[in-house]
């Protein structure tokens, strides 16, 4: 399958400090020559996030430097009046994509757009349907943070693998990349509104027959809670329920 466009979906909530740099880095990123569509979903931010996005959009849309690697840039902004959560924002954002490949990009740069070529390679060379970027099989730089988060991630991934019969190393990764038509077909079924997107989408793609799913190692620059990290222990408990729900109880 020949690919010509990649859609990069960025859910954002109260990230006025980071969103400007994020958009600049994403717009300049190497997408292996593919045209680039950036879809930003503001999830009801109460700070200056939207103003910062709008101020930067004209410059991003006109970017032409390094087209061979970074690709031409198109940009969309979706504004939600009420904060519903990452999952709800992604559902709306994915529905508006037009790319042959769709990349999920967090707004805080915990995950580096410098890894896009690694994430795209299985699509361009191996006809992948889905690629997960794993923080745990990589020799690339990792910021050292919370032991208990690491342990919880491993336990949740193990439990998810037991339900899906996949052998992922990082189910909770923020870097998930999909064949565009596949994720747009699945997106209307998505139900979880917060961070449950990760176990739900994993359960749903695991039920797709003859799916080609790859993992690639990525870098990781995690934030502390003082720096704005939002996911908490309650989300970990919710993930366990969502794994059961979407693997055993939902079709």
CATH number of the domain where residue 216 is located: 3.90.550.10
pLDDT of residue 173: 95
**Residue in 235, 244, 151 with CA at minimum distance from that of residue 203:** 244
Mode of pairing for the β-strands spanning 213-217 and 101-104? unpaired
Distance (Å, rounded) from C-alpha 12 to C-alpha 129? 26
Q: Is the dihedral of CA 237, 199, 112, 228 positive or negative?
A: negative
Which residues face 37 on adjacent strands?
7, 74
Per-residue pLDDT 10s for the chain (251 aa) are: 789 999 999 999 999 988 999 999 999 999 999 999 999 999 999 999 999 999 988 777 665 444 445 556 889 999 999 999 999 999 999 999 999 999 999 998 999 999 999 999 999 999 999 999 999 997 777 666 667 777 888 899 999 999 999 999 999 999 999 999 999 999 999 999 887 899 999 999 999 999 999 999 999 876 565 555 556 657 668 889 899 999 998 76
State which residues form the domain around 45.
5-249
Q: What is the CA radius of gyration of the chain?
A: 17
Predicted local distance difference test score (pLDDT) of residue 62:
61
Quick one: tokens of 160? 């998810």
Total domains, the chain: 1
Query: In this predicted structure, what is the pLDDT of residue 65?
Result: 45
Contact 106, 99 (CB under 8 A): no
Decide: pTM greater than 0.75.
yes
Closest CA to 36 of 80, 2, 1, 3: 3
Our measurement of the distance from residue 98's CA atom to the centroid of its chain's CA atoms, rounded to an integer in Å, reads 16
Instruction: Pull the structure tokens for residue 96.
Output: 């508006």
- Angstrom CA distances, 78 to 26, 75, 97, 156, 239, stand at 17, 10, 11, 31, 27
Question: SS3 helix, strand, coil % of the chain, rounded to 5?
Answer: 40, 20, 40
């Amino acid at each position: 399958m020949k690919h010509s466009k990649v859609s990069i979906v960025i859910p954002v909530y109260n990230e006025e400090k980071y969103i400007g740099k994020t958009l600049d880095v994403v717009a300049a990123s190497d997408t292996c020559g593919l045209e680039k569509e950036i879809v930003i979903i503001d999830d009801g931010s109460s700070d200056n996030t939207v103003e910062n996005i709008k101020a930067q959009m004209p410059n991003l849309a006109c970017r032409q430097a390094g087209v061979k690697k970074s690709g031409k840039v198109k940009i969309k902004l979706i504004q939600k009046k009420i904060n519903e959560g990452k999952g709800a924002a992604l559902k709306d954002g994915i529905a508006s994509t037009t790319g042959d490949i769709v990349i999920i990009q967090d707004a805080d740069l915990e995950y580096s757009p410098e890894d896009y070529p690694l994430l795209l390679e299985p699509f361009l060379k191996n006809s992948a349907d889905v690629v997960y970027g794993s923080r745990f099989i990589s020799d690339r730089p990792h910021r050292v943070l919370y032991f208990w988060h690491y342990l919880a991630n491993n336990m949740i991934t193990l439990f998810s693998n037991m339900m899906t019969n996949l052998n992922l190393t990082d189910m909770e990764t923020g870097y998930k990349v999909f064949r565009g038509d596949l994720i747009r077909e699945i997106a209307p079924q998505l139900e979880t509104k917060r961070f449950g997107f990760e176990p739900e989408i994993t359960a749903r793609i695991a039920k797709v027959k003859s799916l080609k799913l790859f993992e690639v190692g990525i870098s990781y620059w995690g934030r502390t809670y003082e720096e704005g990290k939002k996911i908490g222990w309650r989300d970990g408990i919710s993930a366990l329920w969502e794994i059961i729900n979407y693997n055993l109880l939902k079709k």
